[in-house]
Amino acid sequence: MPSHAPDLPIPMPPPGRPMLIAGATASGKSALALAIARAQGRAIINADALQVHDSWRVLTARPTPEDEAAVPHLLYGHVPRSAEWSVGHWLRALAPLLERHPDALIVGGTGLYFSALTEGLAEIPPVPADTRARAESLRREEGIEALLAALDAPTRARIDTRNPARVQRAWEVLMATGRGLASWHARPASPLLPLTRVSALVLEPDRQWLAARIAGRFAAMLREGALDEARAALPHWPDDAGGPGAPLWTKAIGAHELIAHLKGQMSLDEASASTILATRQYAKRQRNWFRNRLGHWPRRPLP
Distance CA 63, CA 76 (A): 8
Q: Which residues of the chain are modeled with pLDDT < 50?
A: none
Distance CA 234, CA 47 (A): 27
Per the omega criterion (within 30 degrees of 0), is the bond before 303 cis? yes
The residue type found at 85 is: W
For residue 234, give the DSSP letter.
Answer: G
At residue 7, the pLDDT reads 63
257 neighbors 275 (Cβ within 8 angstroms): yes
Verdict on whether the full-model pTM lies above 0.85? yes
At residue 22, the pLDDT reads 98
Count Cα neighbours of 234 within 13 Å in the Cβ-side half-sphere: 15
| The CATH number of the domain covering residues in 19-122+190-206+290-302 | 3.40.50.300
At residue 54, the pLDDT reads 96
**Top CATH class, 129-185:** mainly alpha
Query: For the chain, which residues make up each domain, given as ranges?
Result: 19-122+190-206+290-302, 129-185, 208-284
Record: fold of 208-284: Helix Hairpins (1.10.287)
At residue 166, the pLDDT reads 85
Please spell the DSSP secondary structure of 127-160, one letter per residue: PPHHHHHHHHHHHHHH-HHHHHHHS-HHHHHHS-
Question: Are 19-122+190-206+290-302 and 129-185 equal in CATH topology?
Answer: no
- Percent of the chain residues past pLDDT 70, beyond the cut: 96
Strands (E), 24-103: 44-46, 73-74
At residue 1, the pLDDT reads 65
